[in-house]
Amino acid sequence: MPNIKSAEKRVRITTKRNLHQVALRSALRTTLKKFETAVVGNDAEQARLALNIATRALDKAASKGLIHKNKASRKKSRLTRRYNTMAQA
């Protein structure tokens, strides 16, 4: 436990930011799961809309520093590839 006033404040700020990032990360995972359920259900129109939303969410998460930009790019690529294979079948 910190003894210095500024260190106590840093603990409070870190806790608050951590809670916020956990919520954002959870929302991102939910968005990705909505896409997955649309793909599993073979609903092409719903999957296309979910892909657009997921792509936007990944870009926002990368720009905010929630995830690395390369991870966002990799996930977008895999989601798009998964959508294309589902749409062709």
For residue 77, pLDDT over 90 is answered with yes
Can you give the chain as a three-state secondary structure string?
CCCCHHHHHHHHHHHHHHHHHHHHHHHHHHHHHHHHHHHHCCCHHHHHHHHHHHHHHHHHHHHHCCCCHHHHHHHHHHHHHHHHHHHHC
The model's pLDDT over 13-29, given as tens digits with 9 standing for 90+, comes to: 999 999 999 999 999 99
Which domains are assigned to the chain? Answer: 5-88 (1.20.58.110)
Predicted confidence band of residue 69 (pLDDT cuts 50, 70, 90): very high
The model's pLDDT over 43-57, given as tens digits with 9 standing for 90+, comes to: 999 999 999 999 999
**What's the predicted TM-score (pTM) here?**
0.86
